A and B are shown apart, each in its own frame.
Chain A
Amino acid sequence: MATVDSRTKYWEQAREQGFDLSWLSQLQDHVMGDGVEEYSANDTGRVQGSIPRNNVARFGAYTFRTKSEVWAHNLTKLYEEFITRQWSSATDIPWETIQALPEDIEAAECQLATFFTQVEFVASDVPGRFISTMSPDYQEVRLALLAQVMDESRHLDVFRKRALANGGGLMRMTDSVSDVVGGSTDNAREFTEFSSRLHITGEGNVLTLFRLGEMMAYNDAEKAIYRRCAQDEARHVAIGVLHLRYMNEFSPERREEIHCYLDEGESRQATGAGGENPAGQNQLTSQALAVLLGGGKDKMDEGQNILRAIRQRQTKEYFQRLKSAGFDDRIHNGRVSPVLLEQYKAAA
């Protein structure tokens, strides 16, 4: 904690220098310091860095009060990216470009939009629970998750609007998403467990699908939706990779536990069980994707061929994220899913 003298000196210097754009970073460095405590005894909702006050009601029974449980480096920088790359479903999507579509295409588009609405509901709901149970001393993590919730809310909103915009409406709730809604991601009680399942497995897969979106879009509105969502989703994946990287470095005793989360995620990625991967085999959503990519119900085979290539791409990116996070030993020691390894070799 800085002293009153050093704060005064800093303010004088900053005023003389005219408060340039790095002002907030300078504040953090010179006034607050990077004093993020390993353990947070904060149980009063006191904001990070502020001066404690005695006799405050202890209402903050935070579950997560250890830095190593939740931390990741460089989240502040990522948060800046979050807030400058926001967009609006009301003003940034050219809805007027949506025209009547063949029935099979519209039905597939609406089925997929229903799935994404459903998934994004979970992706906003679950991080919200972790934010409220995390010590305010870990502000960077809270801000990144809050920004993610804002992104996911927009996705929930924009896909719902797309489902309703052209007469199709919301379609059937995807059965297998029971493992997402009310399932393993939803049931995560531990931050790393949640982040591995949501950010690495779930969002990693959906990112590839959003990227694919511009190829299966039938108008400029859909292209804009998918392009914008892909950017957002990549930031969410980054939260997970940065957290796992931190855990690998500072909590190596938890590596085996994390490998177990990855075992589970890979199994579901490979089989389609759990429903997080809409490109997974034999899913209601993968049928919708095949219709959209092929160009109609009668051209689903063409679409399935593209989907096969997409699964390989998902796997390649996932393997490289393991490497970035420091968990790529599972690729070489036989632990990784053999199905995914096969896909990775095919993509290499």
Chain B
Amino acid sequence: MSDPGSSPLVFPSVEWFQALRELVNSDEEFRRLGNIDAVMGVKVGERVFVITFEAFECTGVREGTEYDLIDADFFLEMTVEQWRELVTNTQENDGADLSHTLNTLDLMIEGGISDNATGDQLRADVFFRVNQSLQHFFDSSARLETVFE
């Protein structure tokens, strides 16, 4: 959970992702998982967020548009309800349970959740190559007090 007295963070929002960024950048375990050079799009319903990772850190978080997804290595897309379920599950289990990991969701949700906007699988494969770092990133949200839009 976030610090006592601090306001809950709204999902989805730049502030929510920014808090995740701060958590993983001070997390030795995230660093130990290895370097990660990737631009990840996160599409929550109609809203788009762009998360940038360089070397052992998350270096950028911003809100974007559909056009930004073209430049992302890969983007994760789910409905607002599916994202809400993922975030809630992560909080309840101190990390996503088996049926809510990014990898399982990608295999089980029809059409998958991860893709490259231009159909370039080499860049889409980055999702597989650094998957455990991405999972750690989202699992860290168990430490944030979150409310939903």
Contacts and interface: CB of A to CB of B under 8 A. Distances in A.
A214 B103 contact: yes
Interface residues of B, number: 27
Nearest to B127: A234
Contacts of A227: 103, 131-132
Nearest to B122: A324
Contact of A324 (B121, B130, B132): B121
A214 B103 CA distance: 8
B119 A238 contact: no
A246 B33 CA distance: 30
Contact of A212 (B107, B112, B119): B107
Interface stretch (A33-41, A49-57, A58-66, A79-87): A79-87
A182 B98 CA distance: 38
Interface string B70-103: 0000000000000000000000000000100101
Nearest to A228: B132
Interface string B106-149: 11100010001001111111001111100000000000000000
Nearest to B55: A21
Q: How large is the interface on A (under 10, 10 to 19, 20 to 34, 35 or more residues)?
A: 20 to 34
B132 A214 contact: no
B117 to A, nearest CB: 12
Nearest to B123: A324
Given A207-B128, A214-B101, A238-B129, A85 B35 contact: yes
Given A231-B129, A233-B128, A321-B122, 10 more contacts: A81-B37, A81-B130, A207-B128, A211-B107, A211-B128, A227-B132, A231-B128, A241-B121, A241-B122, A313-B107
Interface of B: 33-35, 37, 55-56, 98, 101, 103-104, 106-108, 112, 116, 119-125, 128-132
Nearest 8 A/B pairs, CB to CB: A85-B34, A320-B121, A234-B128, A324-B122, A84-B34, A234-B129, A84-B35, A321-B121
26 contacts: A77-B37, A81-B129, A84-B56, A85-B35, A85-B130, A211-B106, A211-B107, A212-B107, A214-B104, A215-B98, A215-B104, A223-B98, A230-B128, A231-B132, A234-B125, A235-B129, A238-B129, A241-B121, A313-B112, A317-B121, A317-B124, A317-B125, A320-B119, A320-B120, A324-B121, A324-B122
